[in-house]
Structure 1
Amino acid sequence: MTDPASMFVHLVRDGLDPLPEIQQLRDDPQTQGVRQVPTPMGGSAWIVTRYEHVRTVLADPATYSSAKTGQASTSSLDQDDAARDPLLTADPPDHTRVRRMLTREFTVRRIRALQPRITEIIENCLDDMAAAGPPADLVTAFALPVPSLVICELLGVPYADRDQFQRRAAGQVLGLTGEHEIQRITAESRAYMSELAERAMAGPGDDILGALVRNHGSELSRTELANLAELLLFAGHETTASMLGVGALALLRHPEQLQRIRNHPDAVEPAVEELLRFGSVLQMTIPRTATCDTVLAGHEISKGDLVMVSLSAANRDPELLHDGDVFDVTRTPKPHLAFGFGIHHCIGAGLARAELTIAFPALLRRFPDLALDIPVETVRYRPPGVFYGVESLPVSW
């Protein structure tokens, strides 16, 4: 059993569910779902678990700063590293400037224009699965390559580079090859993003990097453009890849709800919202640092305190819905926190929704007899971390 006083309790799961300990913390009327816990580095941090209080923290960057947390964690790094995640570790006005640049590239119109290509990518992956025959690992055959290839389209990755690009992206998501190998893959990815940025600045194409150069070239250095490309890979690939695996598992565990998605096209969009809420693959956001003394849920938060939120616990909060631990694709969608909240709400949420809305029905129609090929209790999950997911998902049909 995980120590309920551990700062990592909100990152450990019981299958697809938050740990009982984190749910007990959230539902405790005395703490109001907020607790201060020691950190491995010394000092302490506040864990926030209730829907209302998580929204309060994420909606107030003036009081709960991402930038100050980023500065503290990168104090020994060079300036390029400190600026690597401009959307994640910046507060206004720096965050506003960068987000404004990207917002026009993630419009509903652009995502709709990309949908035929998303559909083609998904169908090609399903063709490959069908040709190889059962059994298959749904993670490596479907969940990883689909969002990776979509990101290739967005970033303008040449076709000759896409196999290596997918290999690196898969390695970064699964993180199963040891710390040294992950560091090597990350370094390769950063070097490649720098190369992509250099190409875009020399001859901007129709992809997002080209559009950024054309519209904001005077505002962006090559390093900043490469950092944005890396961020788009991280945010656009890992969330969707994890959600495809977790969502497929949830549906396979509830065959009557799986049938609804397969047979009723109008049920797909609400079902995707329920999958996002229930799965909560993004478990936490960048920790915040209090910029002043404040009060949260009756607790006195001191200036400089570290504050962390549990999105998975908040998405099951009885305040949000009375039966949050029940998976029900027929429910009216709730304003969940699967993509965060406030100014740092995931800028690629619309793209992720488009991929999931196309991918799940296509998978279930192609393989109407899709089933887990192992007992559900033996499914392997990824180690605790910011993103949650399954390591593999053997299926047959």
Structure 2
Amino acid sequence: MRLLTSLKSAVLKRVMPAGGLDLTKLDKVPNRLAWPLLRDGVDPTPRVTAYRAKDPVQRLTSLMGLEIWLITGYEEGREVLGNVNHSTDIRPYMGASGDVEKGDIGGLGFTDPPEHTRQRKLLTPEFTMRRLERLKPGIADIIAQQLDETEATAAAHPDGVVDLAQTFAFPIPFQVICDLLGLPAEQREKFRTLASARFDVTEGGVGSIGAIGGSREFLLAETARQRHDPGPGLIGQIVREHGDEINDFDLGGLADGAFTGGLETSASMLALGTVVLLQNRELWKSLAEDPDSVDDIVEELLRQLAVVQVAFPRFAKEDVVVGGKRIKKGSVMLVHLPAASRDPRSTPGEALCPMRESSNHLAFGHGLHRCVGAELARMELRTAYPALARRFPDMQLAVDPSELEYHAKSIVFGIEALPVKLR
């Protein structure tokens, strides 16, 4: 989800000679492009909601001759994301610099049909409910283990305060994604060190490009290893079933996409969802006592938080009209998923309101690039939230909500720390 960094480097390379740009020396992403990533607590900023109210399709800015449009409406967002004639393939804008071959960019998110179709067909069977069922017992065990660790950590602290982001929200999806990929135990700690700084664009491309390259290099090496010794997870299964139908680079890209889409997003949802729930005690109580309420509460949290802030950029392959606005061929369309998911014209709106209509959201995207791991994410959330509420029914934030520190400019919205008191 390195969208803004990739977009910026693409624009620069479009007007600069191949090989003439050092990504590590890029300056900051300009505020006129990055401001939609800011939030007011967990909510979209008033500026974003004002944009949507005035016109859900607006020209955001022009960056080195490339027009960039911001889409904040639900129906308009679905229209853009569902249009198969738009492209997410950023490679034509990258010149001949070799970034694709180095693994700085690629994977399903930046691939168009027919290559996207071919690769997704290899990946989709691993995320069917039948295949995912095998992960359920392991997910429950991981959650129980992290609940024990959370309690032990709190007991060792003089004030009984524990950072739930570190003991619960991050470790659960990290271990689940390692199990999914079939990573051996001895490799997981190394992999863990690569699982941060991938989404922060505050300083431009410096941190994210390095982190992306490091994790992709690790997964490419792991893919090559499992080519000869297939593991029990997704990588090994694809190798066993498809062999030479997919090369190591493409398989590594699929694994990296599963890692990217399944770790930071789920960790953010677990932490931020808990922030919301602890300020809505009736929902917290319902999770602990009413199993029938869990699905609707999870869907509403997904809608409210929509932690992936903007979808993969869509490049208009021809002139197109969206929401009555003519968007020229070659323009970029950015769909703001939190704003679209709260559009009062098509969803329950800004208020927290668990109901079946809450499933009317774009938290997982829409169309060809809808998150393939959506059901795995739901499985984690539906298991983790109730377990946490049952174990610690009296848990409270250890600081005033206004003191919580959130990621400043991040494609995947999250929180720096979540201090809580368990009792």
Q: Normalising to structure 2: TM-score of the pair?
A: 0.86
| More moved, 93-102 vs 192-201 | 192-201
Q: Deviations over 1:185-208 (max 9, x none)?
A: 444322221221012100223211
Change (3 A) 1:177 1:202: farther
Instruction: Give the Å deviation of 1:171.
Output: 4.6
CA distance in 2, matches of 1:243, 1:145: 13
CA distance in 1, matches of 2:318, 2:328: 6
Contact 2:200–2:409 under 8 Å retained in 1: no
Instruction: Give the Å deviation of 1:37.
Output: 2.4
Change (3 A) 1:105 1:84: farther
- The amino acid that maps onto 1:135 is V
1:298-377 superposed matches below 5 A:
298-321=324-347, 323-330=348-355, 332-377=357-402
What is aligned with 1:85? 106
What is aligned with 1:296? 322
CA distance in 1, matches of 2:201, 2:391: 30
Contact 1:311–1:340 under 8 Å retained in 2: yes
Q: 1:37 aligns with which of 48, 60, 64?
A: 60
Change (3 A) 1:83 1:291: farther
CA distance in 1, matches of 2:203, 2:104: 27
Query: CA RMSD for the aligned pairs?
Result: 2.2
CA distance in 2, matches of 1:157, 1:213: 14
Q: 2:148 aligns with which of 112, 127, 132?
A: 127
Contact 2:200–2:411 under 8 Å retained in 1: no
CA distance in 2, matches of 1:288, 1:145: 33
Instruction: Give the Å deviation of 1:377.
Output: 0.4
Identity of aligned residues (%): 38
CA distance in 1, matches of 2:294, 2:65: 46
Contact 1:174–1:391 under 8 Å retained in 2: no
Structure 1 unaligned blocks of 5 or more:
none
- The amino acid that maps onto 1:276 is L
Contact 1:193–1:230 under 8 Å retained in 2: yes
Change (3 A) 1:330 1:303: closer
Contact 1:236–1:348 under 8 Å retained in 2: yes
Instruction: Give the Å deviation of 1:238.
Output: 1.3
CA distance in 2, matches of 1:174, 1:140: 18
Contact 2:163–2:419 under 8 Å retained in 1: yes
Change (3 A) 1:124 1:246: same
Q: 1:66 aligns with which of 88, 94, 100?
A: 88
CA distance in 1, matches of 2:334, 2:43: 19
What is aligned with 1:106? 127
Change (3 A) 1:165 1:82: closer
What is aligned with 2:157? none
Q: 2:78 aligns with which of 39, 55, 71?
A: 55
CA distance in 1, matches of 2:306, 2:314: 20
Q: 1:223 aligns with which of 238, 244, 249?
A: 249
Q: Deviations over 1:238-292 (max 9, x none)?
A: 1101111110111011112111111101111111100000011011111111111
Q: 1:234 aligns with which of 257, 260, 279?
A: 260
Instruction: Give the Å deviation of 1:174.
Output: 7.2
- The amino acid that maps onto 1:48 is I
Q: Normalising to structure 1: TM-score of the pair?
A: 0.92
Q: Tell whether 2:169 aligns with 1:147.
A: no
